[in-house]
Amino acid sequence: MRLSDAVELREAIYSAAAARLAGGRLPAASVAVLNRWSASSPARLVLEGDVVRRRGSAAEGLASVARNAVELFGGDEASLLRECGRPGCTQVYVDRSRGQRREWCSMRTCGNRVKASQFRARHRVAGEAPVA
């Protein structure tokens, strides 16, 4: 397995996600890459005490990732794909929130940055010093 294999799979997943977000058909080239990788042997799941571990080679790890992507893009949750609303972030996530109104990939990172930026902007306009 080469780094270029992992990059090829990553790009196929992103291309498929972008097509789903745009409401279009999945690109044939992306589907071919996903299908090729998902046909490989996946990483093995092992129960160690009460923790699930994955065991296998890097190629088996990529096969597991490809299988998850195939299940996502071909399943019911494909309609729940969203792209993060923070400018500059390209993360795609599955919005399982109650009203499907989530805006950011993560509240800890992007959501916090957006809200902090908005807070600072409001205080700049009002001529106040922002509170730390």
Which tens digits make up the pLDDT trace of 13-47?
A: 999 999 999 988 999 999 999 999 999 999 999 99
Round the average pLDDT of the chain to a whole number and report it: 87
pLDDT digits (tens, 9 = 90+) for 6-17: 999 999 999 999
Which one, of 87, 33, 98, 38, lies nearest residue 62 by Cα? Answer: 38
Q: Per the structure block, which two tokens stand in for 3?
A: 């780094």
Residue 99 has pLDDT above 80, yes or no: no
Across 83-106, average pLDDT: 82
Across 104-125, average pLDDT: 75
For residue 73, the surrounding DSSP H or E stretch is helix 58-74
Q: Per the structure block, which two tokens stand in for 83?
A: 């792209």
